[in-house]
């Protein structure tokens, strides 16, 4: 091949880049943002510490890249949720149950966006996605639904026992159908 050409080095580099990102996300899930360091991520990804600094010069770069990538992932998984109260309730229950660690990670990075303007667009991605997906709703109703979903998620994270879809469903119903 000629013009851009497949580059073996670059390909492997990209693979390692992604491995580092995935490792970072695992660290955040396990130990929180506080547990993220060049070295802890390097250990998790089983690469030398210099490798993490090579691809992400500063810790900020690493966290920003992780949030952006992670938000993209979550957004695309969101597209598959059908817009019925039952499905949305199920989604929330799974997020704070089965996928608790991942949701927690998401919210820690989310909150990080409050302090770093540059990652706010990524943090807001799922909001704008849902806005787009949900289509022609009353803006006020939409906003209250999005806010409530956020609240249900975060409250589900600090509950001793994560709520089940069945108890979430009436709340989501009220918000989506207006009583």
Where does this chain bind a second copy (CB under 8 A)?
Answer: 32-34, 104, 107-108, 110-111, 113-115, 117, 120, 123-124, 127, 140-141, 143-144, 146-152, 154-155, 157-160, 170-171, 174-175, 178-179
Rounded Cα distance between 175 and 150, Å, is: 13
Q: Using the 8-state DSSP alphabet, how is residue 33 labeled?
A: G
Place of tokens 């975060």: 154
How many other CB atoms are there within 10 angstroms of residue 179's CB atom? 5
Nearer to a second copy among residue 32 and residue 48 (C-beta): 32
List the one residue out of 16, 106, 11, 103 whose CA is nearest residue 56: 16
Instruction: State the CB neighbour count (10 A cutoff) for residue 136.
Output: 6
- Residues of this chain that interact with DNA (CB under 7 A) are 5-10, 12-14, 16, 36-40, 47-51, 53-54, 57-59
Least distance from DNA to the Cβ atom of residue 33, Å: 11
1/34 with CB nearer a second copy: 34
The interface partner of residue 14, options being DNA, a second copy, none and the CB cut-off 5 to 8 Å by kind, is: DNA
- For DNA, the closer of residues 18 and 143 by Cβ is 18
Burial of residue 12 (CB within 10 Å: 0-12, 13-18, 19+) is: exposed
Q: Least distance (Å) from DNA to the CB of residue 124?
A: 26
CB of 52 to DNA, least distance (A): 7
């Amino acid at each position: 091949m000629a013009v851009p050409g497949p580059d073996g080095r670059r390909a492997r580099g990209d693979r390692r880049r992604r491995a580092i990102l995935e490792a970072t996300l695992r660290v955040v899930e396990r130990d929180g943002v506080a547990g993220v360091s060049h070295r802890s991520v390097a250990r998790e990804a089983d690469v030398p510490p210099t490798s993490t600094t090579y691809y992400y010069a500063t810790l900020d770069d690493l966290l920003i890249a992780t949030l952006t990538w992670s938000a993209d992932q979550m957004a695309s998984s969101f597209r598959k949720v059908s817009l019925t109260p039952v499905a949305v309730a199920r989604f929330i229950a799974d997020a704070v149950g089965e996928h608790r660690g991942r949701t927690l990670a998401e919210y820690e990075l989310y909150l990080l966006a409050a302090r770093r303007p540059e990652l706010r667009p990524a943090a807001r991605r799922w909001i704008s996605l849902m806005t787009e997906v949900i289509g022609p709703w009353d803006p006020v109703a939409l906003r209250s639904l999005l806010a409530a979903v956020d609240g249900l998620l975060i409250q589900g994270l600090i509950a001793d026992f994560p709520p089940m879809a069945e108890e979430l469903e009436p709340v989501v119903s009220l918000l989506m159908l207006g009583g």
